[in-house]
């Protein structure tokens, strides 16, 4: 069974082919970073327009590179939400129509389910069920208990900003540009870990929820006291900020593992590409940790194709209507 996956929920147009037997056959991605960089964040209308320009050429390139014909496809999976509505409609509209034209099932994929199933793509390092998932992206920070595909229990989530969003805002304050996560992580490498001590929000009370907006304010106040910022100040603040986010995520993950008694933790979403986070959880957590390669942590088509395949194998398919949802709680999903 061969599935084409299309991801267009935010600022990446990404397509991939995942085969039940061969695994990941190919994946390509067009990043819109250059389109949005001068605005310091994603401009929804520009994102939609760029997806329209790219989706067909990218699929053509993927099929050619992998020597695949449209008639080889057994299903078309597209991200149906959550995300930017106009952007979602491009991938969903194209994917649903292509599936109809080819007479194969369409799969309306939940973007966060795709992120959390991504570590299962590698058969050599597949986490056993049940596992705890830390979902950390630009729009979400959640701890989820995964009992099966589609059987998700929300253990905790951010009450305000997502971890990725906090990285992006810290980067903006430090003049490090967009997207912020990788830029802050790079600057932090040259930072002095002992110079500032940033708070670990909500770790001194019970529970598994997060809050990152106070950390953002703390970062801003620290910067104001230092201005004008020297190169080393930027690196030191970036280091203190990264350490605070990573430590906060670690403390909550440790709690989630203790509370559920499940010693397997999956990291997924763009922030899971962060090397300090990966190393910290792998070393300090009394659980086996799993994460996809960095390119499959941030938005990609492979995870959409794979999530689609999981549901297609169970006989699921989307109706002819094209339904996209800007907001779509993960816990509304059910097993296929
Ligand atoms: O999953 P993703 O690609 O898109 C969403 O679904 O949101 O996540 C993007 C987020 C951005 O906020 C970006 O700054 C963050 O992931 N990110 C990182 C790193 N790479 C991407 N954050 C910290 N360290 C990184 N290396
Ligand atoms: Zn994402």
pLDDT tens readout for residues 33-61: 999 988 888 999 999 999 999 999 999 99
What is the whole-number distance in angstroms between the Cα of residue 320 and the centre of ligand 1? 33
CA 15–ligand 2 middle distance (angstroms): 14
Tens digit of each residue's pLDDT (9 = 90 or more) over 90-106? 999 999 999 999 999 99
274 and 319 belong to one structural domain: no
Which numbered ligand comes closest to the C-alpha of 178? 1
- Whether residue 300 is found in the same domain as residue 287: no
CA of 77 from ligand 1 middle (Å) equals: 22
Return all residues near 311 (Cβ < 8 A) that are at least 6 apart.
Answer: 107, 109, 149, 150, 336
Q: Does the Cβ of 83 fall within 6 Å of ligand 1?
A: no
Task: Please report the pLDDT score of residue 315 as a whole number.
Answer: 96
| N-to-C CA span, the chain | 17
Overall average pLDDT of the 8-30 stretch? 98
* Separation of alpha carbons 5 and 238, rounded Å: 35
Residues 6+ apart with CB under 8 A from 293: none
Into how many domains does the chain fold?
Answer: 2
140 and 248 together in one domain: yes
Tell me what the mean pLDDT of segment 310-317 comes to: 97
20 and 48 inside one domain: yes
Q: Is the pLDDT of residue 200 over 90?
A: yes
Ligand 1 centroid to 63 CA: how many Å? Answer: 28
| Nearest alpha carbon to residue 300 among 141, 114, 167 | 114
| Cβ of 298 below 6 Å from ligand 1 | yes
Quote the pLDDT of residue 40: 82
Decide: 179 in ligand 1 pocket, CB within 6 A.
yes
| pLDDT above 90: residue 123 | no
Q: Is 261 left (phi over 0), alpha (psi -120 to 50) or beta?
A: left
If asked whether residues 265 and 304 sit together in one domain, one would say: no
Mean pLDDT score, 151-169: 97
46 C-alpha vs ligand 2 centroid, how far in Å?
A: 18
What is the pLDDT averaged over residues 170-192?
Answer: 95
Average pLDDT over residues 193-222: 96
- Whether 142 and 55 share a structural domain: no
Regarding whether 162 and 258 lie in a shared domain, the answer is yes
CB of residue 82 inside a 6 A radius of ligand 1: no
Give the CATH number for residue 192.
3.30.420.40
Instruction: Read off the pLDDT band of 179 (50, 70, 90).
Output: confident
Per-residue model confidence (pLDDT) at position 291: 94
Confidence of residue 177 (pLDDT cuts 50, 70, 90): confident
Q: What is the pTM of this model?
A: 0.96
Are 202 and 245 contained in the same domain? yes
Q: Give the residue whose CA is nearest to atom 19 of ligand 1.
A: 181
Alpha-carbon Rg for the chain in angstroms: 20
Q: Which domain holds residue 38?
A: 2-117+296-332
Q: Which pLDDT band, with edges at 50, 70 and 90, does 210 fall under? A: very high
Going by alpha carbons, the residue nearest to atom 22 of ligand 1 is 181
Residues 153 and 204 in one domain: yes
CA 215 to chain centre: 21
Q: What is the mean pLDDT of residues 135-157?
A: 97
Computed over every residue of the chain, the mean pLDDT equals: 97
Instruction: Specify if 304 maps to a domain.
Output: yes
Mean pLDDT of 230-243: 98
123 located within any domain: no
Q: What 3-state DSSP class applies to 269?
A: coil
Q: Is residue 122 part of a domain?
A: no
Q: Which ligand is nearest to the CA of 298?
A: 1
Q: If you ran DSSP here, which 8-state letter would residue 39 be given?
A: G
């Amino acid at each position: 069974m061969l599935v084409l996956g299309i991801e267009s929920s935010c600022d990446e147009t990404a397509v991939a082919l995942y085969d039940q037997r061969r695994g990941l056959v190919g994946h390509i991605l067009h990043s819109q970073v250059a389109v949005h960089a001068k605005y310091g964040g994603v401009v929804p209308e520009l994102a939609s327009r760029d997806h329209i320009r790219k989706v067909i050429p990218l699929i053509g390139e993927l099929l050619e590179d992998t020597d695949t014909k449209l008639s080889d496809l057994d299903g078309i999976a597209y991200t149906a939400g959550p995300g930017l509505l106009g952007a979602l409609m491009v991938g969903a509209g194209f994917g649903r129509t292509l599936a109809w034209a080819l007479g194969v099932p369409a799969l309306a994929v939940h973007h966060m389910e795709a992120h959390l199933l991504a570590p299962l793509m590698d058969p050599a390092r597949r986490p056993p069920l049940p596992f705890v998932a830390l979902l950390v992206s630009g729009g979400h920070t959640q701890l989820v208990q995964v009992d099966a595909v589609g059987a998700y229990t929300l253990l905790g989530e951010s009450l305000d900003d997502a971890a990725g969003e906090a990285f992006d805002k810290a980067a903006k304050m430090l003049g490090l540009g967009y997207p912020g996560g990788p830029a802050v992580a790079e600057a932090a490498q040259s930072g002095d870990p002992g110079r500032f001590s940033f708070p670990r929000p909500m770790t001194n009370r019970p529970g598994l929820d997060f809050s990152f907006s106070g950390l953002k304010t703390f970062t801003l106040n620290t910067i104001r006291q230092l201005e004008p910022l020297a190169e080393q100040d930027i690196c030191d603040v970036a280091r203190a900020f990264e350490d605070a986010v990573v430590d906060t995520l670690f403390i909550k993950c440790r709690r989630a593992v203790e509370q559920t008694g499940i010693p397997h933790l999956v990291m997924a979403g763009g922030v899971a590409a962060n090397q300090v986070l990966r190393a910290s959880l792998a070393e300090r957590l009394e659980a086996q940790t799993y994460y996809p390669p960095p390119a499959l942590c941030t938005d990609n088509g492979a995870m959409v194709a794979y999530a689609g395949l999981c549901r297609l194998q169970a006989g699921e398919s989307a109706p002819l209507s094209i339904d996209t949802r800007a907001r779509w709680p993960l816990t509304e999903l059910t097993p296929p």
